[in-house]
Every structure is written in structure tokens, then in C-alpha cells.
Amino acid sequence: MRRRIRVGGIVQGVGFRPFVHGLAHRLAVTGWVRNDGRGVLIEVQGEDYALDLFTAALQAEAPPLAKIDGVAVDDIAEVAGEQGFVIDLSQGGEVLTAIGPDTAVCDDCLADILDPQNRRAGYPFVTCTHCGPRYTITAKLPYDRSNTSMAGFALCSDCQAEYDDPADRRFHAQPNACSVCGPRMSMETAEIVGRLKAGEVLAIKGLGGFHLACDARNGEAVAMLRGRKDREEKPFAVMVADLQKAKGLVEMGEAEEALLTGRERPIVLMRKKSGNGLVEGIAPGLQWLGVMLPYTPLHHLIFAEAPEMALVMTSANPGGEPLVIANGEARQRLEGIADAIADHDRDILVRTDDSVVRVIDGAPTFIRRARGYVPVAIKLPRSAPPILAVGGHLKNTICVTRGDQAFLSQHIGDLDTPKGLLFFEETVAHLLSILEVEPELVAHDLHPDFHATRFAQTMGKETVSVQHHHAHGAAVMAERGLEEPVLALCLDGFGLGGDGGAWGGELLRIDPQGYERLGHLSPLKQPGGDLAAREPWRMGAAALHAMGKGDEIDRKYNQFNESRLIAKIMDKELNSPETSSCGRLFDAACGLLGVKPKASFEGQAPMLVEGMVTDPKVVDEGWEIEAGVLSLMPTLAALVDCQEREGANLFHGTLVAALADWVVRASSETGIKTVVLSGGCFLNAVLVEGVLSALRESGVAAVIPRQAPPNDGGLSLGQAWVAAMAMKN
Ligand code: ZN
Ligand code: ZN
Ligand code: FE
């Protein structure tokens, strides 16, 4: 009995062939295994029962980094006189067609560097087929050392022997290295630790870019970092040695624990414990703290010398520009921010930020999807022609489809700086190249002035323009395999509407042919235009104006110079566009409650108010729904003379009840029983969990994004799926 077995997915560069080799020896079967252009191909010969065990074990016992998405088995003719089982390297070298994500150092490699007798003791670039850098060090296909930033490091004889030995866990580990032959840090670990303990700010080169690091218990150091980085209040993430230390800082459930210790090692947002010893300046006023555990060997070596330390580890991205990745660039751009730079000579080829997740309704939701997750594909409900989707303007990502796989890029960020645009264009070129995809269609946002839109239109390909909230809803449909009509509740800050207006609180019906706007939040004026997104008091003023209490604006907000003028500006309709945005509705509530009337970053005030919620309450007759338009004006009116905490409870409780009512009515009118929830407002856990529980008994199934962020980081996936659904028609 002989079988040919094809295995697809992420099966190359992850120790799959040595695993197959070991399995074959265990089961005493003969044959061979090799990599080819489509994954791993195996021929195996032996007794029936042995082959069955072999086939079953391929999936059940696959190495940790393998991600199998298909096993096809064919019976073929037996080969006479075959001796043993071999790894076949005869196919003109390696053809590795998939690049894996970067992963945290594995336990075996960690043991190597912490063992004083090991030849890699203290070596910060240890790696094997089960761990380490992949995406960030690979320039192009095939995935082979010569196409990575390890190309310039020739293996020493010891490393070469490991690389050549199928029984070794470093067999064909492309980034394999040791202190004799591999990359080096520019600064000893002891010096890094000494400087951090002395209160310095260090720029430390990591896996996907530089971090700025300092002691999180040193108020002066944290203040210095904020001052130099010109980042007033945006929260910093913290790294500590292990799970126990993390538990001292934040409240954590099982889902958070699994995320913190998982090989993707994201930053996990959790509720702060009071008296955790960290300085308030790390996440001023916020109830949440982003925590991560060490993921590179260097991080572990630092914490091995200073196990009690808590480190601020924030992306080195001065001025909202992309993360710094090159040594020379670090010296130029981080000069004046860092006291010293600890870099190394393994180049970062692909800029990749830390991922950020939050557990909502018991499972992870992405705030930012990048290191550790990219370039793992999101499976689409069916195959589509190759599509490139270029995303939105803020929190940009791009998406490329190949067959039934959607490859969402790492977080690229805001496209409002020249360096941001450059990163965007590099990412388009790189992702298309490593996937070997030539797009037939380019999808972009409806907004004609977005850089991404203009870029799409100059590619010389057929283009599809996709409305912002249509894309938000479709992103959830894509990852959940939904192609039948759904309701989509899309709540965010801003997206250009189909009627040219500013949208952001939308109830849509989406099907493969397109979308229909069933309803929206009742519009508020946005006095000062974009400024209102940073200054919630302006939205508070707009709410008062809409209630006919324009004369109260000046009294309530007299600390701001413009308070006297703002009612007149709205009367005369000057620079006060209307918006149905839910983000601005949140700002209006914050403005009325007097929470952070001038915010230092978008979303700050709503995050503060979410943190105040203890016991959501519903305002009697707090909303009205007429012809699909949902108005929360009665609730806003109730907030005018309200304490902060009481107001936070009333606003959240009523908004949740109103949204559920709105969805249920739309469901009974349309007969559609599924609603997808999307848009940046759905990073608010109180809102999501409230709406989910309110809908649980209603007969409407609510679906939330799990694989792509609900915010604009998921737009490109939705654009791609809208284009794919349209192409089928
Ligand atoms: Zn390892
Ligand atoms: Zn070596
Ligand atoms: Fe959006």
C-alpha cells in the first residue's frame, strides 16, 4: 500500500519535514517527503493501519508553527525495494512558497540561552524551526536564507551541522545562528539593564522595529520619554518578566492569560489593578493598561538580569510616522529622544508593529493586527480572483486575495505623512511580491481624496470603489463566511457616505449586490469640522444647540475662547457639517459630562467614560426611532446636569438598549436574522457585550469581528470581499 499525500498551508520553514521523517521512522514506513511550490508532498508506503496512523498524525501532531489547511490523499502504485524514509532535497534546492509570521522564542531555545554550559548561552539571536523571526526578515520568495537579512552571515560549522541534520530542530532553520557566526548586539545586556535602571530612555532594536524603553516605575524617566516623544497622554504598553508579574499589574482572565503567553505575544489590554506600583503617567486616567510578555531572546536576557523590572516598551515612531527599523534611521530620528541606542546588525526588512488585542465577550478582538499574526491568511468563504484592496486613510492596512485566502497586511497606520505613504507603497509591493499575486482588480474607499484611493487609481487596473461602512460590514462577512443578506450595524468616527455626507452611525443591509442604508443615527452638527473629533466640548455644544439650549453653551464651556462664538457658527451653518457619526455622539456625551473636553488623542474621552461604567442604566424614553433614524437626544438631554459616573452608566445603558431595539425592528421589517457589528466604536467592551446580550434573546444572531480589527484596520478586508462578491455577479 502506497499513498501520495499533499499538505497545504503554512508547512514550510516550520520543521514539518523533520516531523514527517520522525513519524515515518516511528511507524516503520518507507518513502520520502519534500517541499514544492504548493506546500509539502509526501509518498509513504507500508501496512494499511500504519498509513492510517501516519495520515491522522500529520494533522494531530504537527509542529507548533505549522498551520495545515488541507491534506489530500491518493492511493498510488507501490515501489519495489524502497529502503527507509528520506527527506528529498533533489528538487533544485528549496522552493518555499509561504512565509510564516514572527513568533516568540520557544522554550527549548530559551533553555539554550539561559544554560551557561550551552554554546548559545546569553546569545540574543537564538532561533529554530519552531520559533523566531520570519516575516520581518524576509525580502522575497522563496523563503531561503539568501532572501532574508541573514544572507550576509555564513553559517559556522556547528550551525551548519544543525542545519543539515534532519533530526535537529534547527534542520533548515533559515535564521539559524550563534555568537560565532551570527548577528550581534551593539550593547551588552548588562549595560542595557544598567542604563534602564539608572532611569535612561533607550532605543532598543527588536523584531519588527525599534522600541523606546524605560523603567515603568520611574516617574522621571516616564515623564522624560513623554516630553521627548511629544506624546502627552496616549497610553504606553508595559513589558514584564512573566505571567505572575503581569498578574500584579492587571486583572486577567483565562483568555487574557492565553493571549499573553501565546506565541504571537501581542500587547493585551486589561483592567489596571490599583496600587500596582507603576507610575500614573503610563496610561493617564485610563482604566486599562496594555501589557506584553518578553518575546525575543534579548527581552528574556534583560529580564533574567532584572526580573522585578517593569519596562515601558513603546513603538519608536516619532511624530506619528512609521516605526523606525534601520540603524542609521534610528540615529537620525531617535536622536534627542533616546539617551542611547542598542541596535544590532540583523536588518529588519519588513516594518511590523506589536499587535494589540482586547478580550471582548470572552474572546480576543484586534485593536491592531501586526507582529505574530501577519501574514497568516484569513479564509474566505470561497475562491475569488486576485484582488488588491488599499484600505482607508487612518489605521491603514491593505489586503491581497489569493484563491480563498485573504492576506491582511500588518498595521500601516495613518497616511498623512510622507513616510507613512512610503510605508504604504512598500507594503503593497512587498505583499504582492511574497504572495506572487498580480491583482485583476483594485478596491478602494469611496473618498476621492484619500491617498490610498488615488494610489489605486494610478495602478492602471480596473478599480472598484467601496463605501466605508459597506466595507466595515463586509469585513465581518468575509471572515465569517457570510454571503447571504445581513444587517450591518457600523459605528465609527467618519466615513464618506454614499450621499456625500459624513457617516458613522449606520444600519445597513448588505448582500452580494451591494448595500442599502436602512437607517442612521440622527445627525449632529460638528462645529469646527475635524477639530470636533479632538475637542468633545464642541460636540457637547452641538448637542445643546440641537436641544434648543444654545444660550447655555457659553456658560458651560466658558473656559474655551470659542465658546461664545460657537452657537453663532452653528446658527449660520459655518464650518459645521452634519454627521451621523457614533464617535461624535460619544464625544457629545463626554462633552456634556465634562469629561476631557479637550482630548489629547482621538477616542480618549470615550475611553475614559467607558472606564467609569459600573452599572449601565436605561433612560426612560431615552431614544426615538423614526423612519429608520435613531435619535438619542432625550438621553443627551438627561446628561446635561449629570455626574460623570451616573452619566456614563446612563449613556452606555441607553445606547445599548436603543441599538438593540433598532436592530430588532430592522430585522422584523426585512426578515434578516443576522447582524454584523463593525466599526471602531465596537472596541468599547461595554457597548459590544451590552448589544450582544440585549440581542441574545431576540432571535437576531449578532456577529462580531475576531480575525480583523473592527476599526479601520479591517477596512481593506471588507473592500476585498465586496469586490469579490461583485465579481461573481
Ligand atoms: Zn526555538
Ligand atoms: Zn554559528
Ligand atoms: Fe471606519
CA of 509 to the centre of ligand 3 (A): 17
C-alpha of residue 169 to centroid of ligand 2, in Å: 15
Residue 91 in this model has a pLDDT that exceeds 70: no
Q: Does the pLDDT of residue 729 top 60, yes or no? A: no
pLDDT class for 697, splitting at 50, 70, 90? confident
pLDDT score for 608: 96
How far, in Å, is the centroid of ligand 3 from the Cα of 678?
8
d(C-alpha 62, C-alpha 85), whole Å: 18
Confidence of residue 528 (pLDDT cuts 50, 70, 90): very high
Give how far Cα 445 sits from Cα of 64, 454, 466, 471, 722, Å: 38, 10, 5, 8, 11
Ligand nearest to the CA of residue 469, numbered in listed order: 3
pLDDT (tens digit per residue) in 376-412: 999 999 999 999 999 999 999 999 999 999 999 999 9
The Cβ of residue 578 has, within 10 Å, a number of other Cβ atoms equal to: 14
- The ligand that comes nearest to the alpha carbon of residue 297 is 1
pLDDT value at residue 142 = 74
Find the 206 Cα to ligand 1 centroid distance in Å: 17
215: helix, strand or coil: strand
pLDDT band at 12 (very low <50, low <70, confident <90, very high): confident
Residue 519 confidence (pLDDT) above 90: yes
Q: What is the pLDDT, as a whole number, of residue 88?
A: 86
pLDDT digits (tens, 9 = 90+) for 558-609: 999 999 999 999 999 999 999 999 999 999 999 999 999 999 988 999 999 9
Protein residues within 5 Å, CB atom, of ion ligand 1? 106, 109, 128, 130-131
Whether 724 shows a pLDDT value over 80: the answer reads: yes
pLDDT at res. 166 = 85
* pLDDT given at position 615: 97
pLDDT per position as a tens digit, 441-461: 999 999 999 999 999 999 999
Q: Is a pLDDT exceeding 90 seen at residue 338?
A: yes
Q: What pLDDT band is residue 93 in, cutting at 50, 70 and 90?
A: very low
Q: Which ligand is nearest to the CA of 162?
A: 2
- CA 126 to ligand 1 center in whole angstroms: 7
Q: Give me ligand 3 centre to Cα 499, in Å.
A: 16
CB 476 within 8 A of CB 488: yes
Residue 293 · residue 240 · CB < 8 Å: yes
CA 157 to centroid of ligand 2, rounded, Å: 7
What's the pLDDT at 318?
A: 87
Cα of 152 from ligand 2 centre, angstroms: 13
How far, in Å, is the centroid of ligand 1 from the Cα of 324? 26
CA 294–ligand 1 middle distance (angstroms) = 14
Tell me the C-alpha distance between 497 and 398, whole Å: 21
| Cα 109 to averaged position of ligand 1 atoms, centre (Å) | 4
Q: How high is the pLDDT of residue 97?
A: 63
For residue 303, the SS3 value is helix
For all residues of the chain together, what is the average pLDDT?
95
Query: Which among 197, 234, 433, 248 is positioned nearest to 317, based on CA atoms?
Result: 234
Contacts 24+ apart (CB under 8 A), 373-376: 373/101, 373/264, 373/266, 374/101, 374/135, 374/407, 374/408, 374/409, 374/410, 375/99, 375/101, 375/135, 375/407, 375/409, 375/431, 375/434, 375/435, 376/10, 376/67, 376/100, 376/101
Q: What is the pLDDT of residue 37?
A: 76
Query: Is the pLDDT score of 195 beyond 80?
Result: yes
- Domain 2-87 matches domain 189-358 at the CATH topology level: no
Percent of residues, the chain, with pLDDT higher than 90: 89
User: Taking Cα atoms as reference points, which of 521, 506, 492 lies closest to residue 680?
Assistant: 492
Q: Which of 651, 669, 660 is nearest to 696 (CA)?
A: 660
Question: Which-ligand-closest: CA of 177?
Answer: 2
Ligand that lies nearest to the alpha carbon of residue 63, given by its number in the listed order: 1
Instruction: State the Cα–Cα distance between residues 78 and 600, nearest whole angstrom.
Output: 71
- Using the predicted structure, report yes or no on whether residue 189 has a pLDDT greater than 90: yes
What is the arithmetic mean of pLDDT over 472-481?
97
Q: What ligand is nearest to the CA atom of residue 504?
A: 3
How far is the centre of ligand 1, averaged over its atoms, from the C-alpha of 64 (Å)?
10
Say what the pLDDT of residue 569 is. 92
- Name residues with Cβ closer than 5 Å to ligand 3, which is an ion: 492, 712
Q: Strands, E, within 343-474: which ranges?
A: 356-360, 363-368, 378-384, 387-389, 399-408, 441-445, 462-466
Ligand nearest to the backbone CA of 393: 3
Ligand 1 geometric centre to CA of 641 (Å): 59
Q: Is the pLDDT of residue 19 over 50?
A: yes
- pTM listed for this prediction: 0.95
What's the pLDDT tens digit per position in 25-84?
999 999 999 988 788 999 999 999 999 999 999 999 999 889 898 899 999 999 999 989
Give the whole-angstrom CA distance, residue 365 versus residue 357. 6
647-688 confidence digits (pLDDT tens):
999 999 999 999 999 999 999 999 999 999 999 999 999 999
From ligand 1's centre to the CA of 492, what distance in Å? 41
Sorted by where each begins, the domain ranges of the chain are: 2-87, 189-358
pLDDT at 319 > cutoff 90: no
Q: Of 365, 400, 408, give the one whose Cα is nearest residue 703.
A: 365
Of 358, 346, 670, give the one whose Cα is nearest residue 517. 670
Q: Which residues have a Cβ under 8 Å from the Cβ of 558 and sit 6 or more positions away?
A: none
Q: Is CATH 3.90.550.10 correct for 189-358?
A: no
The topology (CATH level 3) of 2-87 is Alpha-Beta Plaits (3.30.70)
Centroid of ligand 2 to alpha carbon of 120 (angstroms): 9
3-state SS, residue 290:
strand
Phi, psi of 413 (to 5 degrees): 110, -160
For ligand 1, the distance from its centroid to the CA atom of residue 103, given in whole angstroms, is 9
pLDDT range class, residue 96, cuts 50, 70, 90 = low
Å from CA of 402 to ligand 1 middle: 30
Q: By percentage, how much of the chain surpasses pLDDT 70?
A: 99
